[in-house]
Amino acid sequence: MMIHSATFFNVRSGTFDSIDISVCSPAIHASVKWEVESDLHHSDHFPIIITLQGRNTPVRTIAKFKMQQANWELFTRLLVPPSQVNLQTLTSSILNAAEASIPRSKPGNIRKMVPWWSPEIKEKILLKKRALNRFRRHPTMENLIEDPSVAGGY
Domain that holds residue 90: 67-101
For residue 18, count other CB atoms closer than 10 A to its CB.
13
Same domain, 50 and 13: yes
Same domain, 7 and 38: yes
Same domain, 29 and 76: no
> Is residue 140 a part of any domain in this protein?
no
Mean confidence (pLDDT) of the chain: 75
> Is residue 14 a part of any domain in this protein?
yes
The average pLDDT across 102-109 equals 79
Same domain, 3 and 45: yes
> Is residue 133 a part of any domain in this protein?
no
Domain count, the chain: 2
Minimal CA–CA distance to 7: which of 57, 46, 39, 61? 46
For residue 152, count other CB atoms closer than 10 A to its CB.
7
Same domain, 40 and 2: yes
- pTM of whole model > 0.75? no
